[in-house]
Amino acid sequence: MAVPAHDLCMSESEYFELEESSQVRHEYVAGRIWSMVGASARHGVIVSNLNHHIYEPIRQAGCRAYATDMKVKVEASQSFYYPDLVVSCERFDPKSNFLVAPCLIVEVLSPSTQIVDRREKLTAYRHIPSLTEYVLVYQDKMQIEVYRKDNAGSWHCQLFSKAGKLILQSVSSSEIELDMKDIYFGTELPD
């Protein structure tokens, strides 16, 4: 969950200085910062499960996955966000603390973040040219929404439920197919 840290406007360089010394992570939106609040155990398990199951196909495609601590820069909205999981095939820079060309972004919904994830971040992320999939994962039921950009640049939503398999197309030439039960393994949600 993000909560306003203060009402003062801040430059990007001031934001990076704050992030280097702060115990709390902050998202930056057009000069304002928002403190990030910790996630639930179920949230953490879902992110870990996703990261585990997409690791090998992503590695084979020459890409990298980052869970929770890598920022994404959205130039169009002058923002830096911390997605729950982000995949990028951009050239690796070991000193960078943000990505500019992700192909896949995943957010796990919670009551305190779902409005921001569904509106602000969905709108902002669509302006990243390299992004082709934005995934919203429910944590209170086995349901996932995938917003996918087609070849013409239009975005479409596809819903996956507990009986199906999540299909991701953004990372490699072949689809990544994940069983919904694997994504939600250990969350104690009913099958």
pLDDT of residue 163: 79
Strand, helix or coil at 26? strand
* pLDDT digits (tens), the chain, 191 positions: 444 555 578 999 999 999 999 888 999 999 999 888 778 899 999 999 999 999 999 999 999 999 978 999 999 999 999 999 999 999 999 999 999 999 999 999 988 889 999 999 999 999 999 999 999 999 999 999 999 999 999 999 999 998 789 999 998 667 899 999 999 999 998 76
Q: Distance between CA 107 and CA 114 in Å, rounded?
A: 9
Cβ–Cβ < 8 Å for 83, 107: yes
d(CA 1, CA 78): 20
Residue 3, pLDDT score: 46
- Could you tell me whether strands 98-99 and 102-108 are parallel, antiparallel, or unpaired per DSSP bridges? unpaired
Confidence at residue 146, expressed as pLDDT on a 0 to 100 scale: 97
Q: Given the DSSP bridges, would you call strands 102-108 and 133-137 parallel, antiparallel or unpaired?
A: parallel
Distance CA 100, CA 145 (A): 23
